[in-house]
Chain A
Amino acid sequence: MVRARPLILLLGAALAVAWAPSGAEPRGVVDAPPPLWEDALPPGPTLAERLEEIRSRVQEAVVYPAEARSRGITGVTRIRFEIAEDGRAEKIRTVATSGSALLDAAAEQGAADAGELPRVYGRVEVPIRFELLRRRR
């Protein structure tokens, strides 16, 4: 029973990966065979909970660049990264630019500053939308 839980989690993860919205880029989304180390995943939160935590941590870590705020720059950056053994985001890169190097850099920096993230097999893609509230003259 104890060993069955990771298997259920793994199955859930595989299903989630298969059904996850692929956005504009389905090329990297595949049903990959689980590697051996996946079996060693400790019991814990579900994949959905882990993804939500990643989302929440990235949200807290990303800072809207002051220069972009003053220049009224908005947009959506999609970043992709892997989660290392120590939980840190690594191999962070922008896969869909917002059109602004400032926002892209802020998004990547946010992922790097997100701290220890729950582990997820494969790569994680996070769309980050930068929005500005209107300002009175």
Chain B
Amino acid sequence: MIPAPASRRERRRRCPALLLSFFVSLLLAPPALGDPEEPPAAEDDTDQQSDAGPPLPVTVVEEVTITAARSERSVLDVPGNVTVIDRETIERSGARSVPELLRREAGIFVTNTTTNREGYTVEARGFNNGGGNGGRTLVLIDGRRVNEPDVMLPDWAFMPLDNLDRIEVVRGPVNALYGDSAIAGVVHLRTRRPEQGFQATLRGGSGTYVTDMGSLWMGGGEGPVSASVFVDGHRTNGYRDRSDLRGYRTEGQLLFDLAGRGELRFAGGYDSQSRERPGTLTEEEMEQDRRQAAPGSEEDFDDPSEHWAQLQLDLALTDQLTLRTNGWHRRRSDASRASDPFYTYRESREKQANAIDLDLELDAQLLGHRSRSILGGSFLREDIDFESAFEFIPFPPTPTSNRAHRNLYGVFLQNELNLTEDLLLAVGVRRESARYDGRDRLSGGDFESEADEWAPKAALTWRVIEPVSVYASYARGFRFPNFDEAFGIYGFSPGLDPETSQSYEVGAKLRTQCLTLNLAAYHTNVYDEIFFNPLAPNPGAFFPGINVNVDRVRHRGVEAFASVRPTGWLEVYGSYTYDDVEIARDSLTRLEGSRMPITPRHRGNAGVRLYFPYGFEAGVDALWVGNRPLVNDVQNRLGKLPTWARYDARLGWRRELTEWLSLAIDATVYNFTGEKYEEVGGVSTFSPRVGFFPSPERHYVVGTEVAVKW
């Protein structure tokens, strides 16, 4: 552990006393909207004079100006369940990928199907149903949307952890800045920015399953110009046979400071990976060997590559008015094959996305109250070229060849108004239009469609007492059908409507030096939730199963998180999430009362970290996931996926050796009890096979880090 400054240590020692005094003050403080320490009125001028005599003269001094940099907005003022995971937390987590870090967040449910970096699904608020539908959590890297146009799920294997500065997690659709695909929430990854001088961080790691990883971040600045480059390489054979992943990534950025009034940023990158897919195993196959690949999957693979470029401008037009623009381009190629003993599926996809966002932020007084307004617009164009061949053994292959485009136009206005110093009203509205056109190159059929949605938002945040706030919010969210739903291998689905949600939420937050508490309860009705229903008749195929709109699905739940650091050497945290996701109305297949697959009702985690002298630290983290229905078991007739618990342990050492050099070493054992569990399992979409994705047993990674700066 790096020795903390004396004042910080002092604060930590005082934490128990601070906690006690806080709770006492909470009990004694009268709840009042107004400020109890309102200063006396200005005209009351003579009451302070002790001597009854003639009033003393007043000499007015020239005005004093106290200037400071505006710091990040406190999460206490954000009307939602919000978490900011900073670099220090990332480094002490022992996590080697972004989803593994997000697993520990209340309200976020993460699954993995490959045992390597691919195959992660990260969703909030009960939207992880393990099937093909997903993407209700919008994921951004520095404002660049990375949800894939075809499935709307991001590829988490393309998001290395080593160049991140922080991760912001917002649960729920509370923010009008985001529209399509933000029903469940937003995960925003912020990459590291170069500072003046020179900085570099070299990381390396090695572990079980022939896993090796390394990354180098270098950056620096001189005057108004700064730049950085990042390279990252990773390879693993994975826990299971045929779960190899090889990948490398390189990216860079160039920043210009605009005379203190703004910043211009260019960024770009390239990523390429080759991956194997081990497929699912039946219970009998798992009993034989849970590390084997699925029979017949010997040739399954997925080889993606992508490149991207981004240009951002952030400019203060006046002291109150700021202009922000963000334009980016992304192109990705995928070639893959998937199979089981009953079918083989091959496909190639070329995907492209181009976007431009523009917004104006006005920070000014409105009727005597502080007001922050953002007016903005966004345009996103997505293109996909898609060819596939589905071979249901022993029938001849059925080819598909589609080309499709989707344009999204959005406008929004959001305002945050301080009704009083402690009461913040946030209102917003967003309107978004989607225009689709597609062509089936085999049949020559054309398809066009359009949809419009709007989403009002309102929230009230009250700072009850200094480190505590409570909030209540209402928000509407929406998601347009993605390419796979509208133009996928099941043919065009012109009748598919956008899904919409009405979400109500209340919550409370507390932040002190040594105590963090988050509590949220939400109730979301999702109308026309798009869902692959294996019972729904498919007019274009000889077997049932197609994407449909389920009339209404009720999502409701509770998210709780607590972290305590009573002394400088001890930190304890824990979280609990309750997600109850049930079909409330289904006029097509009468599935009312069925639980949606894969998301458990109950899950949680807990951990303890110990900080020793000379930079040593140790920690144990526990993850627990309750039982949940299988994928495609929409009638909840099959057995449930069983509850599992996983324990990870970490030892680390971190030290600043000189002012310019620091070193760190850590070793993490994952699943040290050797629990045998499966995160995902279900009935195959194309066959009666009930398969599971076995998760890794005990494995470890040892990592090192060298950081320099001058």
A residues whose Cβ falls under 8 Å from a Cβ of B? 16-17, 20-25, 27-33, 47, 51-52, 54-55, 58-59, 62-64, 66-67, 69-74, 76, 78, 80, 82, 91, 93-97, 99-102, 104-105, 120-137
Contact = CB atoms under 8 A, between A and B. Distances in A.
Contacts of B314: 136-137
Given A66-B71, A70-B77, A122 B59 contact: yes
SS class, residues of chain B in contact with chain A? loop
Given A64-B68, A123-B56, A129-B65, 13 more contacts: A32-B57, A66-B71, A67-B74, A69-B68, A69-B70, A93-B48, A101-B421, A126-B64, A128-B64, A128-B66, A130-B68, A132-B68, A135-B72
Given A27-B43, A28-B45, A101-B39, A136 B54 contact: no
Interface in B32-52: 35, 37-40, 42-43, 45-46, 48, 50
Contact of B73 (A25, A59, A72): A72
A137 B324 contact: yes
B195 to A, nearest CB: 14
A96 B45 contact: no
Contact of B57 (A24, A28, A62, A135): A28
B69 interface: yes
B56 A32 contact: yes
B58 interface: yes
B43 A128 contact: no
B60 A95 contact: no
Contact of B64 (A17, A31, A58): A58
Contacts of B322: 134
A130 B66 contact: yes
Closest 8 CB pairs of A and B: A122-B57, A94-B39, A64-B68, A70-B74, A135-B70, A122-B56, A132-B70, A69-B71
Contacts of A22: 58, 60
A32 B56 CA distance: 7
Most chain A beta-carbon contacts within 10 A, residue among B50, B54, B62, B69:
B62
A101 B71 contact: no
Nearest to B67: A131
Nearest to A54: B61
Interface of B: 35, 37-40, 42-43, 45-46, 48, 50, 54-74, 77, 143, 261-263, 314, 316, 319, 322, 324, 363, 368, 370, 372, 421, 466
A102 B370 CA distance: 14
A25 B43 contact: yes
B310 to A, nearest CB: 14
A129 B62 CA distance: 11
Contacts of B56: 28, 32, 82, 121-123
Nearest to B47: A93
Contacts of B370: 72-74
29 contacts: A20-B58, A21-B60, A22-B58, A22-B60, A28-B56, A32-B56, A58-B61, A69-B71, A70-B74, A70-B77, A73-B421, A76-B63, A93-B40, A105-B37, A121-B56, A122-B58, A123-B56, A125-B58, A126-B61, A126-B64, A127-B61, A128-B64, A129-B65, A132-B67, A132-B68, A133-B67, A133-B70, A134-B316, A137-B324
Given A55-B64, A62-B64, A70-B72, A101 B37 contact: yes
